[in-house]
Amino acid sequence: MPRRPDSVDPAQSPLHLLGAALRHWCDVRGMSLQEVGKAVFMDWSTLARWERGERRPPDDVIERLDRALKADGCLAALHGVVVANMTPQVIPAVPEPGEWREHRRSRLCEASASY
């Protein structure tokens, strides 16, 4: 007997909302992730990660998913909204080569101050 999929909370994040929509369209079309994966030339386990909101699917794959699931542009439109509303990841600035010692000292001071 196949295992029931984990629940997806669309309110958790924009990616979870997209994952819930992917699951919805699979259910509406009566397709398993294995069947959808074959239709879009993707491994079903990758689709499962997208469905659970663990990863962001690439734009070109969303278009293929939209066509395979006959979602009439809904997945593609939602993907655009999700991408626009995702918070960009902040990448810390890398200090110049001469600033490494001071940078390390200040980081150590910050870390020790929190104890």
Per-residue pLDDT reduced to its tens digit, 55-93: 888 888 999 999 999 999 999 999 988 888 776 655 555
The domains located in the chain, with CATH, are 14-85 (1.10.260.40)
Do residues 101 and 81 lie in contact, with contact meaning Cβ atoms separated by under 8 Å?
no
Work out the pLDDT band at 7, boundaries 50, 70, 90. confident
pTM, whole model, 2 decimals? 0.69
> Could you tell me the CA-to-CA distances from 95 to 11, 69, 88, 92, 101 in Å, in that order?
38, 48, 21, 9, 10
Q: Could you count the other beta carbons within 10 Å of the beta carbon of residue 18?
A: 24
Q: Could you count the other beta carbons within 10 Å of the beta carbon of residue 92?
A: 5
* Tokens representing residue 89 in the block: 């990841």
